[in-house]
Amino acid sequence: MKIPASYQIKGIDAYTIEHEPVSSADLMMRAAGTVAEWLWQHVEYDTSFKVMAGNGNNGGDALVVAMLLAKAGFNVECFLFNYSQKLSPDCAFYKEEIAKRTNLRFAEVTDPGFRPDIKADEWVIDGLFGTGLNRPLEEPFVSLIRHINTSDATVVSIDIPSGLFGEDNRQNNPEHCIHATYTLSFQFPKLAFLFAENSKVVGDWQVLPIGLHPKAIEKCQTAYNFATREEMAQLLKPKDKFAHKGIFGHALLAGGSKGKIGAIVLAAKSCLRSGVGLLTVQVPASGNDILQISVPEAMTIPDEGENTITAVQIGEKINAVGIGCGMGTSVEAAQALHQLLQTCDKPMEIDADALNILAQHPEWIKLIPTNSILTPHPAEFDRLAGKSATGYERLEKARDFAAKNKVTVVLKGAYTAVINADGEVSFNSTGNPGMATAGSGDTLTGILVALQAQGYQAFDAARLGVFLHGLAGDIAARTIAFESITASDITASLGFAFNELRSKTSNKHS
């Protein structure tokens, strides 16, 4: 699902009006209708609404929502905040309409000091500003928004929380934005929803399709995408009936150190659950028996180092290498990574301590083979590329980093961003807070290197692997509380995740 920028949505909107064709007032009715329908499904029959409309089309949407709610029998009071005495044409049109209605209370507000009374059990519909916001909000809106935010009412924002920009909010003050309980976004998510710093503003968000023109959506060029199940199912290669293990690739995992052999055990287990044909694991000598006993399906290479790996042996038949899990940042481990980077041209999946070593030796980054993946969490990425004040800033740095170093970067978070060397970004749509647990990242490494060994290109392996990892976590969460999910539970659910994804694409030929 594309994530167009606010200015692009305006264009898609205009194209739809011209080519469907549909009048802008009817499109507004359609959009507001989806909001009203969502509300009917989520409120009690005796809910009272306070609808707050602004002077643009977001305000127009709010006026229509107010009329539809009143028509359905709800108790509605609607305020049109028109301090500047200037309304968009469609907002003006629906103001005339609403003024004629007798089944709701309507007032146009021009007094900057006026604050509507809001009760805790009421629902506030926020239609003050949408994607037409062109500068951070000032008074009297800041006070009005503070008044709404300090009420205990449930707040539903139409399209976007008022005051929030769709993309870059570095110059914005979150306290000057509506803090929505729910945000109902038309047709697409907004980029801003995907950054942790905006979570308090956005609340739970959902996309409501409003039938914008498919041709305009197809033509829209954006670097940002939200990975849907259908898109990810397309990436998953079918498994041929006559296949043998040799054609599913041979992965090598290298890592582990005294006290952290578990990390590579976890990676090995998830790797084997992700379709790889063969797996070899290189561990410090002291970890060899642990690995053989815990993961009998894997072959092992005991390193010469007792408690850390010292040199990685890459057999000729290895298709992809995963490095970093639990390997520590000792001098020996750093040497092993350096030697590997100098000698190996296979796609790599570089994680955890290997990333920390790279941060200490940035001159080695250029040695990373093409078609490789790096999987930093925000702190690891900051060590590689410098600190960022916001998620937006970090994402932009990660796009630069991926382009400069010709790698795929997986920036982990609630909406993990997978970024390729062309700067394309795919945000993951699966996963849950229960997955923020020890070893979860090692599990991801195993999945990614398995997909790379099977011939998936870095960007596809990363998008698909991150999606499956999150889906497995979601499946685990159907029966296990977030508090209790472990990395092993994620691996245990991987088979179900593959099945669920494949079932969407299955047809009689596959």
Ligand X SMILES: NC(=O)C1=CN([C@@H]2O[C@H](COP(=O)(O)OP(=O)(O)OC[C@H]3O[C@@H](n4cnc5c(N)ncnc54)[C@H](O)[C@@H]3O)[C@@H](O)[C@H]2O)[C@@H](O)CC1
Q: How far is the CB of 198 from K ion (least distance, A)?
A: 14
Q: How far is the CB of 159 from K ion (least distance, A)?
A: 5
What is the bridge-based pairing of β-strands 417-419 and 408-411? antiparallel
SS3 180: coil
**Rounded Cα gap, residues 383 and 397, in angstroms:** 12
Q: How far is the CB of 106 from K ion (least distance, A)?
A: 19
* Binding flag, residue 193, ligand X (CB under 6 A): no
* Nearer Cβ to ligand X (13/442): 13
Residue from the set 16, 55, 157, 286 that interacts with K ion by CB under 5 A = 157
Q: Give the x/- contact pattern for K ion in 162-191, rule: CB under 5 A.
A: x-----------------------------
* Binding at 54: pick from ligand X, K ion, none (beta carbon under 5-8 Å per type): ligand X
Name the packing angle between helices 261-272 and 487-503 (round to 10°): 20
162 labeled part of a ligand binding site? yes
Q: How far is the CB of 141 from ligand X (least distance, A)?
A: 6
Residue from the set 4, 59, 287, 434 that interacts with ligand X by CB under 6 A = 59
113 labeled part of a ligand binding site? no
Choices 56-64, 73-81, 370-378, 400-408 (CB under 6 A): range interacting with ligand X: 56-64
Choices 59-67, 256-264, 360-368, 474-482 (CB under 6 A): range interacting with ligand X: 59-67
Residue from the set 82, 131, 307, 452 that interacts with ligand X by CB under 6 A = 131
* Binding flag, residue 78, ligand X (CB under 6 A): no
Q: Give the x/- contact pattern for K ion in 14-53, rule: CB under 5 A.
A: ----------------------------------------
CA distances, 29 to each of 36, 155, 216, 411 (Å)? 10, 21, 20, 39
**Rounded Cα gap, residues 313 and 302, in angstroms:** 10
Locate 499 and state its tokens. 């099945």
DSSP 57-118: HHHHHHHHHHHHHHHTT-EEEEEEE-TTS---HHHHHHHHHHHH-SSSEEEEE--TT-----
Total binding residues toward ligand X, as defined by CB under 6 A: 28
* Binding flag, residue 126, K ion (CB under 5 A): yes
422 labeled part of a ligand binding site? no
* Binding flag, residue 31, ligand X (CB under 6 A): yes
133 labeled part of a ligand binding site? yes
Q: Which residue has the tokens 């239609």?
A: 127
Using CB atoms within 10 A of its CB, is residue 100 exposed (0-12), middle (13-18) or buried (19+)? exposed
What is the bridge-based pairing of β-strands 48-53 and 425-427? unpaired
Handedness of CA 388, 390, 391, 397 (dihedral sign): negative
* Binding flag, residue 135, ligand X (CB under 6 A): yes
* Binding at 439: pick from ligand X, K ion, none (beta carbon under 5-8 Å per type): none
* Nearer Cβ to K ion (52/272): 52
CA angle at 271 for the pair 269 and 277, rounded to the nearest 5°: 115
7 labeled part of a ligand binding site? no
CA angle at 81 for the pair 75 and 85, rounded to the nearest 5°: 140
Query: Taking the CA of residue 356 as centre, how many other CA atoms within 13 Å lie in the half-sphere pointing to its CB?
Result: 13
* Nearer Cβ to K ion (58/491): 58
**Rounded Cα gap, residues 92 and 99, in angstroms:** 11
* Binding at 55: pick from ligand X, K ion, none (beta carbon under 5-8 Å per type): ligand X
| End-to-end Cα separation, the chain, in angstroms | 25
Q: How far is the CB of 309 from K ion (least distance, A)?
A: 54
CA distances, 495 to each of 105, 248, 272, 431, 445 (Å)? 55, 16, 11, 16, 16
What residue numbers does the annotated binding site for (6S)-NADPHX cover?
57-61, 130-136, 159, 263, 326, 377, 442
Residues that bind ligand X (CB under 6 A): 9-10, 13, 27-28, 31, 54-61, 88, 129-135, 137, 158-159, 186, 210, 212
